[in-house]
Structure 1
């Protein structure tokens, strides 16, 4: 499906460029020569960006909005970071609206939806953009484009669990692409329409499977395999049908065949980095091994699902029970630490599922639900602690000479571990629970000369300042902030003291340390930064000041927290590097 979408984007870019040939030859050739520098590069190759910036700058100078759109589209294609792609997508929408051409505006919204879908897996946001694109394309006569858009909306609806709605969308697109593929036309157009048809019936098979209508699903799988297996051109589509065949074989308890089918399809799916479907393949291979009584092999594949979750912070409801299997596996092995680790991972996975798949999450059968998981987690912590103390007693009895050293070392270790877990719980709770409102009125006793209207205005500005991370500005003083707020700094510090319960210096320190702590916990790249880089990232001027504030606010040294977090994520061998600012 991703390969099909990429092909569509490239085709769209080609036809868009061809539509510009009506301009004079000299103007066209300048843009053409700029694009010639990078059009042969691979997707996400940022070497193209230096030329793309020149292309965009030229289009802006000349107010050539059609070429400007092309430049932004190229920016989306060649940027390697999701944040950059999203910025280029927003710029594409802006430029397209300047043309007042509904088809170009529609295509721009489509591109932004694609970024949300593939780069962020934010299905609701992607669907919003697709709907906007569809509204602008209502009167378009480009029926291929319209059906691609309907297809994309269907895919998002399917992921979100709206299977009946997405089925109707896929029926529409499958009929269109099948009909178009039979018309006498250029081989490339026939090829594109056939791929659209195969992708549509694959998605229909997925919907029928999730609705429990297995005969209909199996029938479409058989059609798809028959029509794609004889041509190398459709090996990507064949792999997706083979994936569904493997799931069908698992359902029919043909576990060896399921493992073979799923292993055979993963190479093609991995080639387009479709990690969502990869996790489904890993999951069903693991379940097949488990059904065959091969628990060790099953655990290997379940852990591969977790590795994708750790890397992308993404999980499908369909694979949640892998964590339950891992917890039971390590419970049988009496490995408390691994059991505890995957209990924590399941708690985190549930947070993501409740955020991204509210409808589906409520329908999942959960052997381990959140209250039980939390109770189990606490119990495991006690067991781990008890195990440590038992070991300590044995050591004390066998060697009284080193008694003092062992007690001191163990107590320090427990203290650090406790501090780490307390901080971890603080971070996780912050994710799960809604933030309190900061707009509660303040009594005029703060300063009887401050009008209530000014108090309310400053409170609103403080809330925006916190939400926009304005506190990471280095060297920020109360006077600087008061100037930004267009107010008296004495008013500002007085209101901060009353509303936040601390003076301005402590208030700024808490905001900065909480910000960088969350970054360290949730974003792996920050664990490779040096302490001085981390200090710079959150606006603190020196390494020593950063270390002191981190320890005071979090109750644990920054280096200790980073080391423990790196160990939890299994990348202790990664070097600590200085990141240029």
Structure 2
């Protein structure tokens, strides 16, 4: 059968079998091909390719016949990249089921990464994070550095989306050096993500440097796929630098490529910052059509982010000034739906959702129609109830966490006993014993309070190398090295605050210095992560106990 005839047959089967996968017929010409043939003929780039879907189905059929679960998992991955988006999550689950029957950690981890990518694309960000974390659990047991860094990049993306920009930057930096040598596209993606993260924390100069480096590296590597994204990123960055005409110019230049790629998220972001730039230039009539694009994206795709929410506030203000009560009410009502969506997707921001827009301004709106007032009052009551419920929940949760923290027994240097796990670590038992003694000494002498306590420094103090130090700490302290040091630092500060009054008068900066943190922000974030409370709240409760 010639390739031409093969494609004609496949077009027929594609139209008929797309909704009837079980009745899929594999041409005789493919039934005798080996796995290498299928693997080499699927590029994982041409989505919805008829020919590649045919190869993937033939690959799957062969793997099923031969009960080869590893190849079965790989064939499902091929189907993910060649099928309609509605089927991708189903195939991802099938890939995982097959992969788990192989006990191959790399393959199982790859399955979770693939599922995470699909969930991220579907805007199911918390589910995606769960998948990436599961992938990390398996991939961390292998030496597959590409997969290890791919997981880190995925988690960094989620952290960026959730607003944990500093944590995202740390992970992106870890990925940058590796991908630079191993994968050009991943390297350029990481440069782009770093630029976006720097912008979100106000480091606009660093953002510009990443964008320019990305443009230059794209030319050097002869990979121009990301050029429009670096221009887009710099356009947003120029808005924050108050260079509004340049922001409009760059974002407008990036738009055609974004539309061609059907990247509606970045397209929507471009419209928002073009509109904001015109608004800042007092050109409201030009700004409004762009700001309306954010509502179009929300109505069609349910796509919204906390920063894009401001478009509704500007439109409400604009139509109030125009005395157009109908459109003012429309955008106000839609804003309520937007807030509900954000409350669902951004639970960590639930206390800040309504901060951007002053509800008192809404109360001052003079709407004569009784129906309008009913809608407005209902929305305000709903918002107030949500805020009250959140605040009450937070109060009781903080109170419970404080009581648990006060009632717990302090962690003293625990005895570390060598057991038969030395074989699991593949380290000489005598060496483990020596390192464990040094760990006890390290904790007893509070060496962990030193600033810039790196893995290399810890290994030196434990008189071993970094690999053994991290393995032994993970096994006997049940924590990663950074988590272990951070835990000891925070535990030290908690005991000081509980037992010595003078430390309750220290600022967060002074407490951070006392514990050896590099910055106040790192200290407060670590304290909150470990205890669930801010240091300020913890100190205030300690003071109130003393005064009661």
TM-score range, shorter chain: 0.5 to 0.7
Q: What's the CA shift string for 1:5-32, capped at 9, x where partnerless?
A: xxxxxxxxxxxxxxxxxxxx99861667
Aligned to 1:77: 81
- Kindly provide the CA deviation profile for residues 74-128 of structure 1, in whole angstroms up to 9, marking residues without a partner as x: 221233233x21111111000001111111001001111011001x211111011
Q: Which residue matches 2:496?
A: none
Q: In the alignment, which of 288, 310, 320 is matched to residue 309 of structure 2?
A: 320
1:473-526 CA-to-partner distances (Å, cap 9, x unmatched) read xxxxxxxxxxxxxxxxxxxxxxxxxxxxxxxxxxxxxxxxxxxxxxxxxxxxxx
**Alignment match of 2:241 (pick from 245, 252, 261):** 252
User: In the alignment, which residue of structure 2 is the partner of 1:402?
Assistant: none
Q: Secondary structure at the match of 2:112?
A: helix
Following TM superposition, by how much is the alpha carbon of 1:346 offset from its aligned partner in structure 2, in angstroms?
A: 1.0
Q: Secondary structure at the match of 1:319?
A: coil
Aligned partners of 2:275 and 2:287 also within 8 Å: yes
Cα distance in 1 for partners of 2:30, 2:82 equals: 26
Q: Partners in 1 of 2:140 and 2:44 — Cα distance?
A: 34
Partner in structure 2 of residue 100 of structure 1: 103
The TM-score with structure 1 as length reference comes to 0.54
Question: In the alignment, is residue 200 of structure 1 matched against residue 190 of structure 2?
Answer: yes
- Cα displacement (A) at 1:310: 1.4
Equivalent residues in 2 for 1:510-525 (5 A)?
none
Query: Secondary structure of the equivalent of 1:85?
Result: helix
Q: Please name the residue that 1:124 is paired with.
A: 126
- Distance of 2:97 and 2:359 partners within structure 1: 44
Q: Is it true that 1:149 corresponds to 2:151 in the alignment? A: yes
- Following superposition, the deviation at residue 376 of structure 1 comes to 8.1
1:473-488 residue pairs with structure 2 within 5 A? none
Determine which structure has greater relative contact order: mean sequence separation of CA pairs < 8 Å that are 6+ residues apart, divided by chain length: 1
Q: State how far apart, in whole Å, the 2-side matches of 1:273 and 1:127 are.
A: 24
Alignment-derived partner of residue 218 in structure 1: 208
Partner Cα separation in structure 2 for residue 340 and residue 312 of structure 1: 22
Displacement of 1:359 in angstroms is 2.7
Once the two structures are TM-superposed, the CA of residue 247 in structure 1 deviates from its matched residue by 1.9
Q: Does 1:227 align with 2:217?
A: yes
Which residue number in structure 2 is paired with residue 337 of structure 1?
Answer: 326
**Deviation (angstroms), 1:48:** 6.5
* CA distance, structure 2, for counterparts of residue 381 and residue 31 of structure 1: 72
- Structure 2 residue aligned with 1:158: 160
**Could you tell me how far 1:205 is from its partner in structure 2?**
2.0
**Structure 1 residue 302: Cα displacement:** 0.9
**Corresponding residue number in structure 1 for 2:518:** none
C-alpha spacing 1:40/1:281, structure 2 compared with 1 (3 Å)? closer
Which of 250, 266, 287 is the equivalent residue of 2:255?
A: 266
The answer on whether the counterparts of 2:277 and 2:287 sit within 8 Å (CA) in structure 1 is yes
SS in 2 for 1:235: coil
Question: What is the correspondence of 1:159-198 to structure 2 with a 5 Å cutoff?
Answer: 159-178=161-180, 180=181, 192=183, 194-198=184-188
Q: Could you tell me how far apart the structure 1 residues matched to 2:224 and 2:30 are?
A: 43
Give per-residue Cα distances to partners, 1:260-281, cap 9 Å, x unaligned. 1011122233333332222221
Q: Which residue of 1 aligns with 2:445?
A: none
Structure 1, unmatched stretches of 5+, are: 1-24, 181-188, 387-417, 434-581
The residue aligned with 2:431 is: none
1:285 & 1:199 partners in 2: Cα distance? 23
